[in-house]
Structure 1
């Protein structure tokens, strides 16, 4: 039995180390591009913890995800601190520190080794691959779902030890909360069964209490599949076979990034393989060798458990169900919980328990992580850093173009988008973004061509249709433009961009009564920090005066 005071002291140390190393993010703003605007800065449903916003969180999807607790956590932040990025980052840091402590306690429960537990928790907390999950406020869903999931797992172990139904109910509720934060935690019941199989009696009665967990996982999986199908995402390379070949190489790339975390990027563009090639075969050989090692170590319960924890949480992001992105640092947040103790054990054996070597590696990781957190801010540094490592990645240039556009550096934005289209000429998303930029630059007919091309290809994103409406209105075809805005509002009556467009359209048609109605609707659905609210207020006053 470990000394509780000593365990508590080390837990405080692990939490403090995690918070301090990520403290560089506290001075960061929200990201100007990617999902921060959709989830937070331009999302009216997070402007306070009201009944309306809670209902909206449970009845809407955001950026193609159903994650109400994720959205409610932002609403709680907003209620307490306003739209203060430092506070939002601090909450992420705190949650990550709590996760690190729970990882320490989990490893201590499995191994009984305090040194292994502390060092492994520090690897989990301080690894540079975790920066994306912690320093990017949008990825609150990743760390908060893990907080709930780890809490559920530890509480379930307590249930197995004490056989009380209060911890069982607590574990089930925490797991439900985890699923309502991010669906990728559907694997937790499998990990529970792995724990029971390795450390408890293997009678069926020991597995029976996990059935409700699997039912919740099944429901969350169905919801995720429906959401992904709604986004019309296809398999990589056009087939499950090509997807499987590609993801074999991606898994090996993940291992490389874990052991040698250099050239990290917010966006990777791994090669897609449709046939057996040398990279695919070499990746298969590496993975087969690792499986062979596990077979040799099959009598070591601890090795099998942590290997399972490294592999099983990776399954939901291996494109079994097609996803938008192939590879991301954030996909390793849960798997690192398993990789960390395995790595510390390997280093301990190779270095003959020379703890100083692990400490040196932790210090190096801490420096890299602290430095990297400062890249995740509103400026171009994150994208320029990534482009320096991956100059042929068109998606990075697209994100850079979007950022320059937000910053008002339109010429720089145009050059970045053109470079992106040189690399990815058939990418409809980039054509859409480029079309919006051309609108902003006053190149209305060129913008109309770009946006219409995307629409004619069958893309039906709300923002695309709304911007297409603006393009028609800008070239003088007000009625056609309003038709597209109506199309958006028929599916999403709260879409601020198209509400604004309808107000503008009715103004142009001279119908001030209807214009006033839409200006008021715009004010009703937008947060107070929306930059167009002042203009909308002025136009509402003008429309009200004119209709008298």
Structure 2
């Protein structure tokens, strides 16, 4: 069996081993009722009125979000499976599986490291931090957005390695689809610049220590100016959807403004460090983390940790570029 086919099958099997059980689950009482069960536009399936509603800004007024593709996918589930929870969960599982496959394909395309790429994709597929997004129907927005996002990265890698314009256009289109599902991936243009540095190595030819064995046919360095210009369509979409997100999340912003900027910075640093810890030791996970007071000492320690980690990643950007890209991707 070919390595790519074997690894793809393993990824699918691992995903199903963990998540197939969710197809027997129902809905939960958090958000599922307002988003799906009691939402007449969703539970009545696909029709012109419901599709029009999904793309209207009435969803922003009612649910504080504008994510038409997410609502369309939920309508399709209701049309195909009825209002039993199993069909909705099945779609989440299939989207998560596809997301892992796109991530694997993108990593292989960028690095050529088949086994390492499969390991990374497998960790993504089964990591406990993703359980909430896959096992909770309302989080369809996460799995759908990330599936499109990983597909966009794969298409971009194909564009760079195969020099085919159609893949560039596909990457922009897939990025738009991701944003129409959820605005989380507005940072993708900056991630693509990171990937240009490593592993695509477009910024300099054979400058990294581990590149000594790269063949002489490696393309010459691409100027940063060209790389940034290349991201303009992505950046335009980012600006548009950031504005939309600020508009749709007005109430949460009003809540956050109750706290001073220094406090919010310390809170962000502490939360970031906690997620780094949960990546390596995923214990104490919850669907909801109540706000707790952050002590200046804990916040300062977290901020110092992040500054040191960023400094170390920058220091290693030539000798260990994978650390640089990996850290700032996270």
Q: TM-score normalised to the size of structure 1? A: 0.53
Distance 2:111 2:323 in 1: 10
Note the 1:201-220 alignment, pairs <5 A.
Answer: 201-203=221-223, 204-220=225-241
Q: Which residue of 2 aligns with 1:75?
A: 75
Contact 1:111 1:302 (8 Å CA) reproduced: no
Matched, 1:42 2:62: no
Residues 379-394 of structure 1: matches in 2 within 5 Å?
none
SS class of match (2:26): coil
Q: Is the 8 A contact 1:236 1:242 kept in 2?
A: no
1:112, 1:83 → 2: CA distance?
44
1:267 is aligned, of 288, 292, 299, to: 288
Matched, 1:249 2:245: no
Q: 1:222 to 1:114 in 2, by over 3 A?
A: same
- Could you tell me whether the CA contact under 8 Å between 1:28 and 1:86 is conserved in 2? yes
Q: Does the 8 A contact of 2:193 with 2:227 survive in 1?
A: no
SS of equivalent to 2:2: helix
State the Cα deviation string for residues 27-53 of structure 1 (Å, max 9, x = none).
11101x221111111111112111111
Give the 3-state SS of the residue equivalent to 2:145 in structure 1: helix
Q: What residue number does 1:278 align with?
A: 297
**Which piece of structure 1 moves more, 11-20 or 175-184?**
11-20
Q: What stretches of structure 1 of length at least 5 have no aligned partner? A: 311-548
| 8 A contact 1:196–1:207 mirrored in 2 | no
Deviation at 1:232, TM superposition (A): 5.7
| Structure 2: tracts of 5 or more residues without a match | 203-220
The equivalent of 1:88 in structure 2 is: 88
Give the aligned partner of residue 2 of structure 2.
5
Partner of 2:162: 162
1:190 aligns with 190
Contact 1:16 1:97 in 2 (8 A): no
| Cα deviations by residue, 1:449-501 (Å, 9 ceiling, x for unpaired) | xxxxxxxxxxxxxxxxxxxxxxxxxxxxxxxxxxxxxxxxxxxxxxxxxxxxx
**Distance (Å, rounded) in 2 between the aligned partners of 1:107 and 1:232:** 36
- Pair 1:51 & 2:70 matched: no
Distance in 2 between residues matched to 1:34 and 1:270, nearest whole Å:
18
Deviation at 1:147, TM superposition (A): 0.8
Return the alpha-carbon distance in structure 2 between the equivalents of residues 154 and 118 of structure 1.
14
Q: Deviation at 1:170? A: 1.5
Q: For residue 30 of structure 1, what is the aligned residue in structure 2? A: 27
Q: CA deviation at 1:54?
A: 0.6
- What is aligned with 2:216? none
**CA displacement at 1:110 relative to structure 2:** 3.3
- Aligned partners of 1:292, 1:218: CA distance in 2, in Å? 28
Change (3 A) 1:237 1:272: farther
Contact kept? 1:99, 1:150, Cα under 8 Å:
yes
Give how far 1:249 is off.
Answer: 1.0
- Secondary structure at the counterpart of residue 284 of structure 1: helix
Displacement of 1:150: 1.1
Is 1:295–2:291 an aligned residue pair? no
Alignment-derived partner of residue 534 in structure 1: none
Secondary structure of residue in 2 paired with 1:140: helix
**Which residue does the alignment assign to 1:327?**
none
* Residue number in structure 1 paired with 2:141: 141
C-alpha contact 2:96 2:125 (8 A) present in aligned 1: yes
CA contact (8 A) 1:132 1:139 kept: yes
Q: Does 1:131 align with 2:151?
A: no
CA separation in 2, counterparts of 1:35 and 1:42?
A: 10
SS of 1:22's equivalent in the other structure is helix
- TM-score, structure 2 length as denominator? 0.87
Instruction: Check if 1:19 corresponds to 2:12.
Output: no
Secondary structure of 2:313's match?
A: helix
Number of residue pairs the alignment of both structures matches: 304
Residue of structure 2 equivalent to 1:117: 117
Find the aligned partners of 1:251 and 1:257 in 2 and give their Cα distance.
10
The Cα of 1:208 is off from its aligned counterpart by 1.8
**Conserved? CA contact 1:35–1:63, under 8 Å:** no
